[in-house]
């Protein structure tokens, strides 16, 4: 079964080399592959072109609905692996969308890339199967808080959060729009025994001015609660654009 990818332009799969913009590997050179489809719908999602296709009524603040044919493309696992290998990077970030929705095909693709360090970015609602898990070096888990617009029943699955908290390869990255969001993070940390040294707080925003404004007060809250501030380096470097 082929992989379903997002596109940079119609027909062109979103596979590219860049610096990781967020989380524990921020600033490191990586290859990226962006898969399409998501089981959640964040109102502020900056990659809504991976899931909010025409006919999808899930809310998004832009109100845009994307043409599926222009924004989705299928690739064989072999083709995707060859494109990634051609980028010549030591590290691969698998992002989305929600990549774990395509876990079986993803595992087959990664098996064709021996020696590459694999990071998977996930919303934390889907458990990776053993065949995939064995090939992953790092999980960047981003549970969605109430301001995302997702029902907690769907976005914050207790057994999944507990599993990720017990997984030493998992870092937690929370999107923060208001100071009260940090209180929600602290409650989740206490409830699910999430280690503070694996928690990253990242301002929500798709332009440098918004990020800078929020990071001023978020930095102080990180200092107060001994948590790590994550930038959105790719926004500062390239803007809110695909393939970066």
Q: How far is CA 68 from CA 16, 190, 231, in A?
A: 21, 40, 31
pLDDT in tens, 79-89: 999 999 999 99
| Long-range contacts (CB closer than 8 Å, 24 or more residues apart) made by 51-56 | 51/97
pLDDT in tens, 41-54: 999 999 999 999 99
**Which pLDDT belongs to residue 1?**
76
Residue 20 has pLDDT above 90, yes or no: yes
pLDDT in tens, 22-38: 999 999 999 999 999 99
Mean pLDDT of the chain: 97
pLDDT range class, residue 162, cuts 50, 70, 90: very high
Can you tell me whether residue 121 is helix, strand or coil?
A: strand
Please give the domain boundaries of the chain with CATH numbers for all domains.
Answer: 3-172 (3.20.20)
* Omega cis (within 30) before 178: no
Q: Look up residue 22 and give its two tokens.
A: 């967020």
Task: Please state whether 69 falls in left (phi above 0), alpha (psi between -120 and 50) or beta.
Answer: alpha
| Long-range contacts (CB closer than 8 Å, 24 or more residues apart) made by 146-149 | 146/181, 146/184, 147/43, 147/44, 147/177, 147/178, 147/181, 147/204, 148/40, 148/42, 148/43, 148/44, 148/175, 149/41, 149/42, 149/43, 149/59
Mean pLDDT, to the nearest integer, of 173-193?
Answer: 98
**Which pLDDT belongs to residue 191?**
97
Residue percentage of the chain with pLDDT more than 70: 100
**Which pLDDT belongs to residue 199?**
98
**Which pLDDT belongs to residue 30?**
98
| Rounded Cα gap, residues 154 and 71, in angstroms | 25
Residue 170 has pLDDT above 90, yes or no: yes
Q: Look up residue 158 and give its two tokens.
A: 């207790």
pLDDT in tens, 91-136: 999 999 999 999 999 999 999 999 999 999 999 999 999 999 999 9
CA-angle at 103, arms to 97 and 109, nearest 5°? 100
Q: Look up residue 35 and give its two tokens.
A: 């898969």
> Tokens 């997702």 correspond to what residue?
150
């Amino acid at each position: 079964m082929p992989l379903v990818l997002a596109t940079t332009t119609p027909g062109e799969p979103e596979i590219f080399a860049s610096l990781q913009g967020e989380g524990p590997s921020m600033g490191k050179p990586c290859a990226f592959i962006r898969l399409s489809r998501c089981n959640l719908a964040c109102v502020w999602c900056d990659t809504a072109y991976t899931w909010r296709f025409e006919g999808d009524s899930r809310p998004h603040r832009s109100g845009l609905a994307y043409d599926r044919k222009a924004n989705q493309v299928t690739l064989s696992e072999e083709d995707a692996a060859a494109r990634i290998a051609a980028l010549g990077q030591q590290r691969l970030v698998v992002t989305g969308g929600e990549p774990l929705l395509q876990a079986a095909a993803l595992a087959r693709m990664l098996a064709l890339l021996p020696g590459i360090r694999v990071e998977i970015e996930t919303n934390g609602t889907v458990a990776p199967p053993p065949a995939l898990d064995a090939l992953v070096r790092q999980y960047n888990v981003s549970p969605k808080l109430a301001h995302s617009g997702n029902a907690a029943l769907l976005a914050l699955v207790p057994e999944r959060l507990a599993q990720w908290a017990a997984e030493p390869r998992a870092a937690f990255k929370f999107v923060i729009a208001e100071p009260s969001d940090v209180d929600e993070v602290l409650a989740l940390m206490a409830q699910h025994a999430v280690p503070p040294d694996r928690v990253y707080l990242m301002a929500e925003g798709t332009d440098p001015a918004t990020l800078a404004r929020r990071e001023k007060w978020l930095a102080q809250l990180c200092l107060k609660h001994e948590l790590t501030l994550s930038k959105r380096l790719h926004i500062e470097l390239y803007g809110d654009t695909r393939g970066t």
